[in-house]
Structure 1
Amino acid sequence: MAATTPVDGRTSAGSRATADGDAPVSQDAAAAASGQNRPELQQAIQAFIDAGFLGIQARVRDANGEWVGTAGSSKLGQPAKPPANGRFWVGSVTKTFTATVVLQLVAEGKLGLDDPVATHLPEFGLDERITVRMLLQHTSGLFNYTGDFDPDGTWVLGIPATGDDWLANRFHAYQPEELVRVALSKPPRFEPGTDQSYTNTNYTLARLVIEQVTGRSFADELARRILRPLGLKNTVVPGNRTQLPGPHAHGYYRYQDATGEWKVVDVSRQNMSLLSGAGDMISTTKDLQTFFSALNSGRLLPAPLLAQMRTPHPKQSYGFGLFVQDLGPGCGTVYQHNGSPPHAYGALMYSSPDGRKTLTASLNYVDDATRSPAAKFPQALDTLIKAVFCDGQTAS
């Protein structure tokens, strides 16, 4: 972590937050002001700051209503707290949106889960055994274009997605076809359908399938099917745009230059075309809450397809675009997909099976090549999840 100590940002639920002189998000100031006092939730998000993260914005909806909280700092060395509904890079949360669009096309008979992907995308020369289902469940065996492990555990380089090499190329624009061809230049990890390995390549291909089947861009199809119907006005597929629009918290990368001096650079601006269809979206906690609640309550997919989406593969408990997580006695099952763009941001998205209880959040922090903040993340996350979904239980 950077030597700078994050500002202690304990806030009440009614705090108004701004970033970089942007106007406060009035709807959330009002919601927070009218919301109930939830000290256990405020304490749970403060734990991330105590663990070394720079800032957090979080949103919980349950039987008690809606709670919005922030802690820490929006910008390194400044006291302003993260905006309560600021924009952020959602990373792999994008996969849940992509999977939902694919399954809507399946529901309409325009696509089959067991269609060979090669039928829709013949230009890549894909193994004809790889199906649309395998893309969504990460069982295709394709190499991950951002780097992957060989069966013997050796790391095989792909396009730099972390570390100093990523820093130098963070504004580079990629085409999805380019990403797929990088993956196909490497041997597959396993025979299609015989194993499971989480791979960005699968969802970039899924994006291309959506575009081929509909004749429209992924961004247009997502807007037509999900964003506009649900009123998700702050969610966007940015393409090659690198700037987070509107109020947002800042993320940083810490590195050692050629002289051995440590430096910290603001990496809030990034080109997420590196993760096309797999991790390139921008959203807010409110929009993610609305989307995931709608999905799990059955508003976006027919019940049989939603059931398939939420049926996990036994190896990684991953269905189609989401994880199935058993929290244990007294807590039950949640559906979730979190996200971590290359550096400096993290996104959380959790829901109860009926969509009535949700947790969405975004973290901003000072990252480095070793991903050092990750060490303390699991404990803080476990505490927060249990505070929301386990009637106030805390991690042991």
Structure 2
Amino acid sequence: MIERLMRPYFHIPFVLLVGACSSYGSSTPRDCSQGLSYDGPSILENAELRFPTGRFGSTGTIPAATVQRLDLAFENALEMLPTETVDAAVLRLDGSRYLRTAGDPSTARDLHYWASAGKLFTALGILVLEEEGRLSLNDPISNYLSGIPDGELITLEMLLNHTSGLFSANEDAQVRASNKLMTLEDEIAVLQRHGNLFCPGTNWRYSNSGYALLAEVIEQVSGQSYHSFVDGQVIAKTQAERLRVMAAGERPENVVALSQANGDVREVINHFGGAGSVIGDAESMAAFVAGVFEGSVVSETTLNRMTQQLYPMFHSASDPSQPTRYNGLGTMVYVAISQSPPSYLMGHSGGLDGASSFVGWSARHQAVVVVALTGAGSADLIASRLAPALE
């Protein structure tokens, strides 16, 4: 067992998506044992999700009529949202692309922070290491870190799909009130103080802390910093040119500041670790997502595993029994229940006070759609308007 507890780690001063997610489990179990099975809300297994039918091209052109529909969809969405800046991209399988921005980011600050969409990158880092035979998703986190509640029962797979039962440290009142850079020891102390919310593997609850621990696993197994490994072994396998993971504690000078609800403008400082540390422009993010789902980063077999078992996150307001978003291994699946049969998008969302993001692949439209924004509003909403405009 390797212990690395005293170096500066990360601090999550805002909620990264978790606030609106389904929240299952509320008591601290006293007696968890191996062999317990999942008994939460019904999962979606073996959904008919389709990946790109080949590699993305580079020479396609979006028809003028489609561009007009995309423009109208983008502008109508913005009328509903009090955003400050928006960066959006659509990349179709034939290589044709649609790029739109809004607001007035300076030429010196033209990149956006992608919040919890960065969890997709962390998950891919773990899966790359698994494909190389350097770890197993069945490994308990106790193989890498000591002091994690029920760590001998929590597998890396449970951390990836949020079934570990771990508390999410950013929800701790003391953590949220603090501006200090936490150490890994601090993080583990918060997890110990709150205890697990349910026995590992028996339920689902979004945990930023789980992804913080996964970043530490990447560092231990690879021998590199988290950001160096993901930049070199995940992002570099795609055509993304202006996309990277921030170093721990970094304050990048070329990223649009967060415009918060109280009117404050806050610089992006990387306190987020494996829970979401990616910055870039929408065009590069679209190229990255295209590379992921065409199989440039991990194999199609691994991509299928990422969505083989899907846990419900959000439900329809009109039909609370109907899930509209699921969570797999570092990826989210969005269900358009208004369509028959329902269509699916695969990707990840992110959100915190002052920023929102969405990245996804739509098999129905054979296209990648990505959106990052600052200010108030939902990147998901803009993406949900852009995708149908491709029809």
Asked if Structure 1 and Structure 2 have the same fold, meaning a TM-score greater than 0.5 normalized by the shorter chain, the answer is yes
Query: Does the CA contact (< 8 Å) of 1:158 and 1:182 recur in 2?
Result: no
Query: Does the CA contact (< 8 Å) of 1:324 and 1:335 recur in 2?
Result: yes
Q: CA deviation at 1:42?
A: 1.6
- The answer on 1:303 being equivalent to 2:300 is yes
Structure 1 residues 276-319: Cα deviation after superposition (integer angstroms, max 9, x where no partner)? 11112212212211221111111211222211112242333111
TM-score (norm 1): 0.71
- The answer on 1:70 being equivalent to 2:101 is yes
- The answer on 1:293 being equivalent to 2:309 is no
Q: Which runs of 5+ in 2 are unaligned?
A: 1-57, 314-325
Query: Does the CA contact (< 8 Å) of 1:45 and 1:56 recur in 2?
Result: no
Q: Which runs of 5+ in 1 are unaligned?
A: 1-30, 75-81, 148-155, 256-263, 366-372, 392-396
- The answer on 1:217 being equivalent to 2:249 is no
Match of 2:369 among 350, 354, 359: 359
Counterpart residue number, 1:284? 281
- The answer on 1:252 being equivalent to 2:259 is yes
Between the two proteins, the alignment pairs up a number of residues equal to: 313
Counterpart of 1:178 in 2: which secondary structure? helix
**Aligned residues with identical type, % of pairs:** 22
Q: CA deviation at 1:180?
A: 3.5
Counterpart residue number, 1:144? 168
Matched residues in 2 for 1:385 and 1:96: separation?
Answer: 21
TM-score (norm 2): 0.72
Structure 1 window deviating more from structure 2 (292-301 vs 56-65): it is 56-65
Q: RCO greater where, 1 or 2, for CA within 8 Å and sep 6 or more?
A: 2
Query: Does the CA contact (< 8 Å) of 1:48 and 1:377 recur in 2?
Result: no
Cα RMSD between the aligned structures? 2.8
Q: CA deviation at 1:330?
A: 6.6
Query: Does the CA contact (< 8 Å) of 1:293 and 1:356 recur in 2?
Result: no
Query: Does the CA contact (< 8 Å) of 1:173 and 1:271 recur in 2?
Result: no
Match of 2:140 among 105, 116, 121: 116
Runs of 4+ with >4 A deviation: 123-126, 353-356, 376-381
Counterpart of 1:54 in 2: which secondary structure? strand
Q: CA deviation at 1:118?
A: 0.4
Counterpart residue number, 1:270? 268
Query: Does the CA contact (< 8 Å) of 1:285 and 1:360 recur in 2?
Result: yes
AA paired with 1:44? A
Match of 1:206 among 203, 214, 221: 214
Counterpart residue number, 1:324? 333
Structure 1 residues 68-103: Cα deviation after superposition (integer angstroms, max 9, x where no partner)? 1123343xxxxxxx77x9311110011000000101
Match of 1:159 among 171, 175, 196: 175
Counterpart of 1:109 in 2: which secondary structure? coil
Matched residues in 1 for 2:241 and 2:95: separation?
Answer: 26
Query: Does the CA contact (< 8 Å) of 2:165 and 2:201 recur in 1?
Result: yes
Match of 1:343 among 353, 357, 367: 353
Greater share of residues in strand: 2
Cα 1:202–1:223 change in 2 (3 A) is same
Query: Does the CA contact (< 8 Å) of 1:230 and 1:291 recur in 2?
Result: yes
